[in-house]
Amino acid sequence: MRCHHCGHVSFDSLTVCRRCANPLLPIPRHRAPAPSIVLLPVASPVAVQETRVGLPDRFVVDGGTVEEELDWSRLTLPAELRTPDETEAARASAGSAMVYAGCLRRAVAALVDAPLSLVWTVPAMILAYVTALLGGTVAREPTFEVQLLGVGAALVAGVAVSFAYRVLCWGQGGQTPGMMLMGVRVVRRDGGDIGYGRAFLRRVGYFIALLPFGLGLIMVLLHPRRRGLHDLLAGTCVVLVDAGGGQ
């Protein structure tokens, strides 16, 4: 034991010091120091940004191979995994790239298609009229009722052939021969093909647009995207082919 007064060290178990006779105090046991928490300095966002700017755009991996850093801002998800907001944004960007056809181009295309449609419509009307007369003639003298039936059959055949002419052309490629000549095409609002279902609905809407007084067709002049009532019903629009509306 060691005396705290004179510093004398004794290896015997004594209660008083042999040199100075002062009482010896027991040596206290040393306790382990309490763990201390060291706070690390936190880098400011500006410092982090400066550090990030200084990093190279290319990095080296095992084997000395150099790879370019991915640009995550340019990665896009497939259409089936996108959220509705992303899908609408994609449609909006596709719609902004399309140039809508004017009324003059569409009118000229309709005028070109008129005689081409008559090439199929007139024979169909004649065939329907003759068939109605031969089927309803009594004693080789057609009555007024039979003639009226023939006229009705001819009109129905003419409308059906004209209807089918445009539905088949729109459904197959979105263009009639007149529209091909004028460089316009019928597409969906997002620029895709309309198909035969939308083509049928658009043709039905065309006849609805004629009533009353063709107001549904006059909407083409007023609508910002040159869409008439038939386009609104079918969800279609007419665009220029060489401006992003088709191939």
Report how far Cα 2 is from the mean position of its chain's Cα atoms.
89
In a domain, 231, yes or no: yes
Please check whether residue 23 is in contact with residue 16, taking contact to mean a CB–CB distance below 8 angstroms. Answer: yes
H-state helical runs in the chain: 45-54, 84-97, 103-136, 144-173, 177-182, 195-209, 215-222, 229-234
23 secondary structure, DSSP code: B
- pLDDT over 90 at 105, yes or no: yes
What pLDDT was estimated at residue 53? 46
**Least confident interval from 56-60, 76-80, 192-196:** 56-60
Q: Scanning the structure block, which residue is given the tokens 């755009």?
A: 57
Q: Which two tokens stand for residue 124?
A: 């169909």
Q: How many domains does the chain have?
A: 2
Report how far Cα 41 is from the mean position of its chain's Cα atoms.
47
In a domain, 224, yes or no: yes
Amino acid at 128: A
In a domain, 54, yes or no: no
> Judging by DSSP bridges, how do beta strands 184-188 and 236-240 pair with one another?
antiparallel
**Least confident interval from 16-20, 31-35, 195-199:** 31-35
What pLDDT was estimated at residue 146? 82
In a domain, 93, yes or no: no
Clarify whether residues 228 and 119 are in a common domain: yes
Amino acid at 15: T
- DSSP string for 44-78: PHHHHHHHHHHS-SEEE-GGG-EEEPP-GGG----
What pLDDT was estimated at residue 143? 79
In a domain, 47, yes or no: no
Cβ-based neighbours of 105, under 8 Å, separated by 6 or more: 182, 183, 184, 240
In a domain, 161, yes or no: yes
In a domain, 15, yes or no: yes
What is the C-alpha separation between 173 and 189, in angstroms, rounded?
15
**Least confident interval from 53-62, 137-146, 163-172:** 53-62
Report, as an integer, the average pLDDT of 201-221. Answer: 91
On the CB side of 101, how many CA atoms lie within 13 Å of its CA?
27
Please check whether residue 238 is in contact with residue 106, taking contact to mean a CB–CB distance below 8 angstroms. Answer: yes
Of these ranges, 13-22, 136-145, 188-197, the one predicted with the greatest mean pLDDT is: 188-197
Could you tell me the CA-to-CA distances from 168 to 3, 133, 232 in Å, in that order? Answer: 116, 30, 20
What is the C-alpha separation between 47 and 54, in angstroms, rounded?
11
Angle between helical axes of 103-136 and 144-173 (0-180°, round to 10): 140
- CA-wise closest residue to 9 among 32, 27, 35, 34: 27
The residue among 246 and 175 whose pLDDT is bigger is 175
Report, as an integer, the average pLDDT of 42-56. Answer: 50
What are the residues facing 68 on neighbouring strands?
58
Q: How does pLDDT run across 111-136, given as a tens digit for each residue?
A: 999 999 999 999 999 999 988 888 76
In a domain, 170, yes or no: yes
Residue 5's domain spans which residues? 1-27
Average pLDDT along the chain: 77
- DSSP-derived 3-state class of residue 19: coil
Clarify whether residues 120 and 239 are in a common domain: yes
